[in-house]
């Protein structure tokens, strides 16, 4: 048992702004004697005690203070303060009177805290030059609504920065809001180098909570650093393959300065440099050269002007445009080629790279590899158009073609006529004559009529419209085709369809007569069989089927109008022999 009055209270109670603080007051009296009264006080800013409650066994009296309606007493006489503000951060006293045991008291420090808002960082809005004469501002950091007062530190690439004379300057600012909370901010000043274009900066706000230091970090930011060009590069795009005529080429000028410098392009013409800036994309360092040709080859230069320190740099590159020119074909012999002769075609071209040749016909079919094409025993029908394809194996896609026509000369050759032509007298018919020749021939007819000529591929065709006369039927027509190298002619025979019809009638009658003769012969044989003139016994049948008897086999052959008479004689002779054999 306690020998004197003892009061036990926590030294510190922590509570967040807006929360409820509960402060307990535990006391012990000798021999468990009861208390006479309990008073709760707080210490104001003048260090005076202001009573909150007076508690006796019979009643509890709440004093009229700033805490009215915000404080409560628990059954265990503990003091509860709701809606805590930063102004509540003070000392609260519990005083207990125990009659003859005297008066005792103890106190608790109410610690109020507010976790600060996440710090916000804002990098310098403009670029920072590495040549800045003064220590430039890097960024600002701010954290609002904290209690008690926090502090801010700065970090670069994860390492904390500290004030250094003429090197790093950190300027903090503290603002006390009407709510009693603190807003803290800090500004970082530090020199920069070219390497700082990759540096990351952030700030950290540090505050106390439950006896420990806690911290909140801002996001990491980069600062726009201005630095001069150290390396300038000029390259040709695309660079994967050699450049050829017709390609779209781009010259790209690249510099490692910031901000990007002003680029100017030039091309060397003899001893002077031609300004090409008007052809370049503005402020891009890109020069487009569409459909380059042989004259596009040369030395190009890119010049950069640094806006930070007004220094200049330049870089040059050689552009080589591969080409094929002067494709031509030589023919040997160079004189006119006649049918049946041979010719040699020789293809040649000029290029700065090695070339390959290939010959194709007019249908695109490959004939031979190499620069020479031999054509033997030429005819009018020989393909007269040939193509020489020139290629550069070392430059993919670089090729040219040259077509050449080989004209084969010769006298006309008639290849088709409408003969024989079956007609009727007084009928209007078309006579056709088709020939091939070079030079182009003329067509003449031996008779009068309306002629129409047309070209069919390499052939010339003539249609003559005439009325069939008696003389034309008798003599026919002659087609005569000629050019300076010779003449060809052919006769067209006209056949009267009436005579042809009469001949066909005679043949039909002969066939009918032959059929009748065979029918009669069959009837006679049947009649003789019925009369018994022709036995049908087994022996007779065997004789008839013997191989030797095949020479007596009846054969009917239709040859002329005397068929019926010869057939009858043949039937009689064979009939007599057959009867004698049967007997």
DSSP string, 260-290: --EEEEEEEETTEEEE-GGGEETTTTEEEE-
323-350 pLDDT per residue, tens: 999 999 999 987 778 888 899 999 999 9
**Number of neighbours of residue 501 by Cβ within 10 angstroms:** 10
**Percent with pLDDT over 90 in the chain:** 62
Q: What SS3 class is residue 401? A: strand
- What average pLDDT does the segment 446-466 reach? 90
- What average pLDDT does the segment 433-442 reach? 90
The pLDDT value recorded for residue 336 is 79
264-300 pLDDT per residue, tens: 999 998 889 999 988 888 878 899 999 999 999 999 9
Does the residue 550 lie in any domain?
A: no
The pLDDT value recorded for residue 566 is 35
Instruction: Tally the C-alpha atoms within 13 A of residue 9's C-alpha that lie toward its C-beta.
Output: 25
The pLDDT value recorded for residue 277 is 85
Q: pTM of the full predicted structure?
A: 0.57
Does the residue 564 lie in any domain?
A: no
Are 17 and 85 in the same domain? yes
Are 338 and 268 in the same domain? no
Ramachandran region of residue 18, left (φ > 0), alpha (ψ -120 to 50) or beta? Answer: left
For residue 370, give the DSSP letter: S
Q: How confident is the model at residue 569 (pLDDT cuts 50, 70, 90)?
A: very low
Cα angle for residues 318, 319, 324 (degrees, 5° grid): 135
Decide if pLDDT at 143 tops 90: yes
Are 329 and 400 in the same domain? yes
Q: Are strands 103-113 and 12-16 parallel, antiparallel or unpaired?
A: parallel
Does the residue 439 lie in any domain?
A: yes
C-alpha distances out from residue 179 to 71, 80, 114, 147, Å: 20, 21, 11, 10
Does the residue 544 lie in any domain?
A: no
Average pLDDT score, the chain:
86
Q: How confident is the model at residue 236 (pLDDT cuts 50, 70, 90)?
A: very high
The pLDDT value recorded for residue 369 is 94
Q: How confident is the model at residue 503 (pLDDT cuts 50, 70, 90)?
A: low
Residue where a domain terminates, one of 113, 129, 161: 113
The pLDDT value recorded for residue 432 is 95
The pLDDT value recorded for residue 533 is 58
- Contact by Cβ (8 Å): 77, 8: no
Does the residue 529 lie in any domain?
A: no
Residue where a domain terminates, one of 77, 93, 113: 113
**Number of neighbours of residue 493 by Cβ within 10 angstroms:** 14
Are 121 and 189 in the same domain? yes
CATH number at residue 401: 2.60.40.10
Q: Which residues pair with 286 in a beta bridge?
A: 252, 281
Are 150 and 71 in the same domain? no
Domain span at residue 35? 6-113
Decide if pLDDT at 382 tops 60: yes
Decide if pLDDT at 541 tops 70: no
Residue where a domain terminates, one of 462, 496, 530: 496
Are 164 and 146 in the same domain? yes
Are 460 and 369 in the same domain? no
Are 392 and 425 in the same domain? no
Separation CA 257–CA 304 (nearest Å)? 10
Does the residue 168 lie in any domain?
A: yes
For the chain, how many structural domains are there in total? 5
Are 276 and 345 in the same domain? no
Select, from the ranges 202-206, 253-257, 381-385, 575-579, the one with the highest average predicted confidence (pLDDT): 202-206
Residue closest to 52 by CA, chosen among 27, 21, 30, 98: 21
The pLDDT value recorded for residue 460 is 92
DSSP string, 158-203: TEEE--BTTTBEEEEEEEE-TTS-EEEEEEEE----GGGGG--EEE
The pLDDT value recorded for residue 499 is 57
The pLDDT value recorded for residue 281 is 86
- What average pLDDT does the segment 153-170 reach? 93
Q: Are strands 325-332 and 337-338 parallel, antiparallel or unpaired?
A: unpaired
Q: What SS3 class is residue 456? A: strand
Residue in this structure with the two tokens 């909140």, named with its chain if needed: 216
Are 402 and 415 in the same domain? no
- What average pLDDT does the segment 19-42 reach? 91
Are 124 and 197 in the same domain? yes
Does the residue 444 lie in any domain?
A: yes
Are 377 and 402 in the same domain? yes
The number of angstroms, rounded, from the C-alpha of 579 to the middle of its chain's C-alpha atoms is: 102
- What average pLDDT does the segment 28-51 reach? 90
Does the residue 514 lie in any domain?
A: no
Cα angle for residues 495, 501, 503 (degrees, 5° grid): 95
């Amino acid at each position: 048992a306690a020998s004197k009055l003892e009061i036990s209270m926590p030294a510190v109670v922590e509570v967040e702004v807006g929360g409820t603080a509960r402060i307990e007051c535990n006391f012990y009296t000798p021999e468990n004697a009861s208390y006479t009264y309990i008073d709760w006080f707080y210490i104001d800013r003048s260090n005076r005690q202001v009573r909150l409650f007076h508690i006796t066994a019979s009643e509890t009296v709440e004093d009229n203070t700033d805490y009215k309606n915000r404080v409560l007493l628990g059954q265990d006489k503990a003091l509860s303060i709701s809606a805590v503000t930063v102004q509540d951060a003070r000392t609260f006293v519990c005083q207990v009177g125990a009659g003859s045991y005297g008066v005792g008291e103890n106190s608790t420090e109410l610690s109020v805290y507010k976790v600060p808002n996440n710090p916000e960082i804002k990098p310098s809005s403009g670029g920072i030059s590495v040549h800045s004469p003064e220590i430039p501002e890097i960024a600002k950091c701010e954290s609002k609504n904290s209690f008690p007062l926090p502090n801010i530190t700065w970090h670069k690439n994860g390492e904390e920065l500290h004030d250094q004379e003429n090197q790093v300057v950190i300027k903090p600012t503290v603002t006390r809001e009407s709510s009693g909370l603190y807003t803290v901010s800090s500004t970082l000043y530090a020199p920069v180098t070219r390497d700082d274009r990759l540096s990351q900066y952030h700030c950290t706000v540090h505050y106390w909570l439950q006896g420990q230091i806690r911290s909140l970090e801002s996001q990491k930011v980069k600062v726009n650093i201005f630095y001069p060009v150290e390396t300038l590069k000029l390259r040709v795009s695309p660079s994967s393959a050699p450049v050829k005529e017709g390609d779209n080429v781009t010259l790209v000028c690249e510099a490692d300065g910031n901000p990007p410098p002003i680029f100017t392009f030039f091309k060397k013409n003899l001893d002077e440099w031609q300004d090409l800036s008007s052809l370049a994309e503005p402020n891009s360092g890109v020069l487009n050269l569409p459909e380059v040709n042989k004259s596009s080859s040369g030395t190009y230069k890119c010049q950069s002007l640094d806006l930070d320190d007004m220094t200049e740099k330049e870089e040059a590159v050689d552009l080589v445009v591969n080409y094929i020119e002067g494709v031509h074909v030589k023919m040997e012999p160079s004189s006119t080629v006649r049918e049946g002769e041979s010719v040699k075609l020789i293809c040649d071209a000029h290029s700065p790279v090695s070339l390959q040749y290939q010959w194709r016909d007019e249908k695109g079919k490959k004939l031979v590899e190499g620069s020479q094409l031999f054509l033997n025993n030429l005819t009018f029908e020989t393909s007269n158009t040939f193509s020489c394809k020139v290629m550069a194996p070392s430059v993919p896609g670089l090729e040219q073609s040259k077509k050449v026509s080989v004209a084969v000369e010769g006298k006309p050759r008639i290849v088709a006529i409408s003969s024989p032509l079956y007609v009727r007298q007084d009928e209007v018919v078309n006579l056709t004559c088709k020939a091939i020749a070079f030079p182009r021939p003329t067509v003449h007819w031996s008779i009068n009529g309306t002629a129409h000529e047309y070209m069919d591929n390499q052939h010339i065709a003539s249609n003559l419209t005439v009325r069939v006369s008696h003389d034309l039927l008798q003599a026919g027509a002659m087609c005569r085709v000629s050019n300076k190298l010779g003449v060809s002619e052919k006769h067209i025979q006209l056949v009267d369809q009436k005579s042809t019809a009469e001949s066909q009638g005679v043949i039909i009658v002969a066939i009918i007569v032959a059929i009748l003769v065979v029918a009669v012969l069959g009837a006679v044989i049947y009649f003789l069989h019925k009369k018994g003139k022709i036995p049908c016994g087994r022996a007779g049948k065997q004789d008839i089927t013997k191989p030797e008897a095949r020479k007596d086999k009846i054969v009917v052959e239709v040859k002329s109008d005397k068929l019926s008479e010869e057939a009858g004689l043949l039937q009689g002779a064979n009939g007599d022999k057959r009867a004698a054999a049967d007997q």
